[in-house]
Structure formats: structure tokens, C-alpha cells
Amino acid sequence: MTTLKAGDKAPSFSGLDQDGNTVTLDTFKGKKLVVFFYPKASTPGCTVEACNLRDNYQTFQAQGYDIIGVSADSAKRQQNFKNKYELPYPLIADEDKSVIEAFGVWGPKKFMGREYDGIHRTTFVIDESGIITEVITKVKTKDHTAQIL
């Protein structure tokens, strides 16, 4: 699991969003940023989490936050997820897992007695100068906005 903690400098990252646009940490320089990692687009828990952030997007914006979602899904799958649920923020299609590994959220997981490698649902809150202010590892998908703000 991630070794990053509050007070650490956020990893410099570069990934392509659902439309093929490059998204980097520098894209958000001078702004607060919420980076949420989720296992798979359009699955029940990920949908609830993404929609909770969508429904509170204006509140985030009012407080100076931008949001980006990251999973190892393809750009097409991210595009479908974004369109279907009208998500107002970019989704990084991190198929090579470079962003996922930079943040250290890839690793062994257990589900129904089976062990496999996958993305740990984790959210990082980053300040205007690129410093992590909070790492949320126990994400409450239905009430994620309250956890962040």
C-alpha cells in the first residue's frame, strides 16, 4: 500500500484522460487537487464514489479544488463512464499504471478469499504547492465528499 503521507510532496505524474489530453500535476499548479484512485469504471462502488464527488462538484470548486479520477481502465471505458454519469472532471486512463504506481496504490488485495493484485481505493488531497495534505485509505464511497472536506 502507499507509503505517501500528509506532508509529502505529491509525485509528479503525467497521464492521458478519457479524451487523450495530457494531465500532469503541473496542470493544477496553484490549485488544490483531489486525486481519487478507483479499481474499475462503472462498477457499483466506483460509480457511487464518482457520483458522490460529481454531486458535490460545485462545493469543491467553490473551495478551490479540482478533481481527477484515476484507474487502469482504457480511455474508451473512462469516456463511457464519464459520459454515462455526467462526471464533470477528467478521468485518467492509466493502462500502464505509471500514475497508480507513482502514488503506490497498486498491490495485493483479497476478495471472497481470492488474492490478486489491484488498485487500492485511495484518495489524495494535494495543496496549491503540490504537498499532500491528506491520504484517505478507508474511503466511504457514499459519503466521500464529507471525508475530503
The catalytic site residues sit at 46
For residue 38, give the DSSP letter.
-
Cβ neighbours of residue 128 under 8 Å, at least 6 residues apart?
A: 29, 30, 31, 32, 64
**Coarse DSSP helix, strand, coil percentages of the chain, rounded to the nearest 5 percent:** 30, 30, 40
CA atoms within 13 A on the CB side of 58: 1
Q: How many CB atoms lie within 10 A of CB 27?
A: 15
3-class SS at 118? strand
State phi, psi for 33 to the nearest 5 degrees. -140, 135
